[in-house]
Amino acid sequence: MSSSSNPDNDAVRIGSFQYLMASVPHSLHRNGRVLTRRDKDGSDAGREGIDLEARCMSVQDARRRESTARCTLIQNGFELSARPLSGKSIDFLKQEQVVRTYYSQCAEIVRETTGARFVVAFDHNIRSAVGKESKRRIQGGQQVQGPAHLVHGDYTLTSAPQRVRDLAKVPGTNDTFHSLLPKGEALLDAAEVEHVLAGGRFAIINVWRNITEDPVQTSPLALCDAASVRPENL
């Protein structure tokens, strides 16, 4: 995203975003023609069927919004929360430290925000333009990923329930959470998963955090208001 200031409101900017062109097939349901690929250790490995065009959109600085105008997960699909790290600092470039220390903190954040009965953390990425350019690798994990410079959703109506089912299988070595489980055990109970998918409710929620002390200046995270999107546009 690139942006320019709006002189009438310093909290609002005009940003240039890379959207899928109208000619790209809709992929709310998996179609096998529009997709991104991951290699064996979970790093970005290219994409197919994706043609992009730039669109200018107004963007609001979430940190400058009045508290009464804050977005919420239920109404807008995201929210900004002040959540200092609990306990000692975490080296986010050491996978085992993140998995054993930070995953439980993420689960607690989601539990408190949603009121969900059961929450688990199961995956993470470190995104850094400098880290990607220098081909930096996370100790014990994948390569540092670059910013995702296109408007997208992580899951489809096909891949989301499939991911939940996959979490009821014995994890592979590239599953970040495998070291937390006894050998041969899965993260989720298979019977419980099928019960939920048959008529219950689940959500896959991203928890994003700046891992440095200074505010992000390059490639800041931008989120789309769910209230402004229709299913036929996905």
Separation of alpha carbons 97 and 3, rounded Å: 35
Q: Is the dihedral of CA 124, 47, 148, 233 positive or negative?
A: negative
Question: Contact 48/35 with Cβ under 8 angstroms?
Answer: yes
Report the length, in residues, of the chain. 234
Cβ within 8 Å of residue 183, ≥6 positions away: none
Separation of alpha carbons 88 and 103, rounded Å: 14
Q: How far is CA 101 from CA 5, 91, 204, in A?
A: 39, 10, 20
Separation of alpha carbons 42 and 176, rounded Å: 9
Nearest to 18 by CA among 35, 1, 33: 1
At residue 193, what is the residue type?
V
The pLDDT profile of the chain, 234 residues, written as one tens digit per residue, is 555 544 445 578 899 999 999 999 888 888 888 888 877 766 777 888 899 999 999 998 888 877 667 889 999 999 999 888 877 789 999 999 999 999 999 999 999 999 999 999 999 999 988 888 888 999 988 889 999 999 999 999 999 999 999 999 999 888 999 989 999 999 999 999 999 999 999 999 999 999 888 888 888 999 999 999 988 888
Bridge partners (DSSP) of residue 12 are 60
H-helix or E-strand containing 125? none
Q: What pLDDT, on the 0 to 100 scale, is given for residue 112?
A: 96
Question: Contact 109/80 with Cβ under 8 angstroms?
Answer: no
For the chain, give every domain's residue range: 2-233
Q: What pLDDT, on the 0 to 100 scale, is given for residue 5?
A: 46
Nearest to 138 by CA among 124, 126, 122: 126
SS3 percent helix, strand, coil of the chain, rounded to 5, is 25, 15, 55
For residue 176, the SS3 value is: helix
